[in-house]
């Protein structure tokens, strides 16, 4: 055997957990199997602009399979609301209405369902978006893991919004709204079988009001928005760099990684750049508008620690690099497989 570096990944004819990671395997699954027949070529976004009645509606849908169902800082119900509201917001839209669908496994405690439903209702009220319709299905024991939640969102494009992953351009400033790694490490901490205890809470929150302030401050100078969920900040930046055919350079010293998250990642051998988030966003903004957008971001509870973390370069296209704390430069790749399954 003559191993090569990097080692080749084994091909498979079956779906793996890694296909849901938000990393390279998932990108390959979408690009080769799912989107060609449905969407054709183009940039994949978390929400779609749909021509409607002389204007444009924004649509997004997402399924949530997180385990455990309840975790520090949230639960599967609030996460489902925040996730879809944020997918709409990342296209520059304000949420108008939500649809909710449950898949319930026989044996799920009714108290758990009531608690999750109350959480959905509270998160929707807090976000200012009504749940207007939905569906409930029940499957047999062993056919699911308690409960899966799907939320579909309808949004209205904010005036002045012109946001897409493909709109990034050389010279843009890369802004980050807040700490990274909290959601993924909170889920880890809540999984009893890992024997890991921490006070880290998920950062799950709705970001549409933050986005509204950013768009109001700079309009189309806000080129790109993306919430770095599965695959973490590394996957989000790689997706943006690939969609816009630009390079992105970030500074490790400027990344806000909370000390407990850093300690947990070091203990478990995780890269904070690959750990999922549910309450922060990364933005590519014209340099002439960066200061105004940063001020608007910090003028609210969702992003008081917002900061610039890097710049966009002309190339190499699709390449993300980080200037490290020791003065070197490293390539920031997408997560290949599954670092932590069922985190959202």
Least confident of 8-22, 23-37, 209-223: 8-22
> Average of pLDDT values for 81-90?
98
Query: Where exactly does CATH 3.90.650.10 map onto the chain?
Result: 172-331
Residues of the chain with CATH 3.30.1330.10: 43-157
When pLDDT is cut at 50, 70 and 90, the band that residue 2 belongs to is very low
Range 222-235 average pLDDT: 95
Q: Provide the pLDDT for residue 161.
A: 96
Written in H, E and C, the secondary structure of 30-45 is HHHHHHHHHCCCCCCC
Do the bridges between strand 307-313 and strand 247-251 make them parallel or antiparallel, or are there none, so unpaired?
A: antiparallel
Q: How confident is the model at residue 249 (pLDDT cuts 50, 70, 90)?
A: very high
Q: What is the pLDDT of residue 29?
A: 86
Mention the CATH class of domain 43-157. alpha beta
Residue whose entry in the numeric block shows the structure tokens 């971001």: 297
Is the N-terminal amide bond of 343 cis, ω within 30° of 0?
no
Task: Write a three-state SS string for the chain.
Answer: CCCCCCCCCCCCCCCCHHHHCCCHHHHHHHHHHHHHHHCCCCCCCCCEEEEECCEEEEEEEEEECCCCCEECCEEHHHHHHHHHHHHHHCCCEEEEEEEEEEEEECCCCHHHHHHHHHHHHHHHHHHCCCEEEEEEEEECCCCCCCEEEEEEEEEEECCCCCCCHHHCCCCCEEEECCCCCHHHHHHHHHCHHHCCCCCCCCCCCCCHHHHHHHHHHHHHHEEEEECCCCCHHHHHHHHHHHHHCCEEEEEHHHCCCCHHHHHHHHHHCCCHHHCCCCCCCEEEECHHHHHHHHHHHHCCCCCCCCEEEEEEECCCCCCEEEECCCCCEEECCCCCCCCCCCCC
**Which numeric CATH code is attached to 172-331?**
3.90.650.10
- What is the Cα–Cα distance from 158 to 211, expressed in whole angstroms? 9
**pTM for this one?**
0.92
What does the pLDDT read at residue 39? 76
Residues 88-117: tens digit of each pLDDT: 999 999 999 999 999 999 999 999 999 999
Q: What is the mean pLDDT of residues 46-61?
A: 91
Give the pLDDT band of residue 145 (cuts 50, 70, 90): very high
Average pLDDT of the chain, as a whole number: 91
Average pLDDT over every residue of 266-281: 93
Residue 248 has pLDDT above 60, yes or no: yes
What's the rounded mean pLDDT across residues 205-215? 98
pLDDT at 306 over 90: yes
Q: What is the mean pLDDT of residues 155-161?
A: 96
């Amino acid at each position: 055997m003559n191993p090569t570096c990097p080692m080749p990944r084994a091909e498979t004819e079956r779906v793996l957990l890694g296909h849901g990671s938000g990393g390279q395997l998932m990108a390959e699954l979408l690009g080769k199997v799912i989107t060609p027949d449905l969407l054709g070529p183009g940039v994949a976004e978390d929400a779609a602009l749909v021509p409607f009645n002389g204007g444009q509606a924004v649509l997004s849908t997402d399924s949530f399979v997180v385990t455990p169902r309840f975790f520090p800082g949230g639960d599967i119900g609030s996460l489902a609301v925040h996730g879809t509201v944020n997918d709409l917001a990342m296209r520059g839209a304000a949420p108008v209405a939500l649809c909710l669908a449950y898949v319930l496994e026989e044996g799920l405690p009714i108290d758990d369902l009531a608690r999750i439903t109350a959480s959905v209702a509270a998160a929707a009220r807090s976000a200012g978006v009504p749940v207007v319709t939905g569906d409930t299905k029940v499957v047999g024991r062993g056919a699911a893991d308690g409960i899966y939640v799907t939320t579909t969102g309808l949004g209205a494009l904010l005036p002045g919004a012109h946001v897409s992953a493909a709109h990034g351009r050389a010279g843009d400033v890369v802004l980050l709204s807040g700490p990274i790694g909290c959601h993924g490490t909170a889920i880890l901490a809540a999984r009893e079988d890992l024997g890991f205890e921490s006070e880290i809470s998920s950062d799950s929150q709705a970001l549409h009001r933050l986005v509204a302030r950013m768009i109001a401050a700079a309009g189309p100078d806000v080129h790109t928005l993306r919430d770095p969920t599965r695959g973490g900040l590394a996957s989000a930046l790689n997706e943006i760099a690939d969609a816009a055919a630009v390079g992105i350079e970030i500074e490790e010293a400027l990344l806000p990684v909370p000390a407990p998250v850093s300690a947990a990642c070091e203990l478990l051998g995780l890269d904070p750049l690959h750990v999922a988030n549910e309450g922060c966003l990364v933005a590519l903004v014209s340099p002439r508008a960066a200061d105004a957008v940063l001020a608007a971001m910090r003028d609210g509870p969702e992003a008081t620690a917002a900061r610039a973390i890097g710049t966009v370069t002309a190339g190499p296209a699709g390449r993300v690099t980080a200037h490290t704390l020791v003065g070197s430069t490293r390539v920031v790749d997408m997560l290949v497989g599954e670092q932590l399954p069922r985190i959202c």
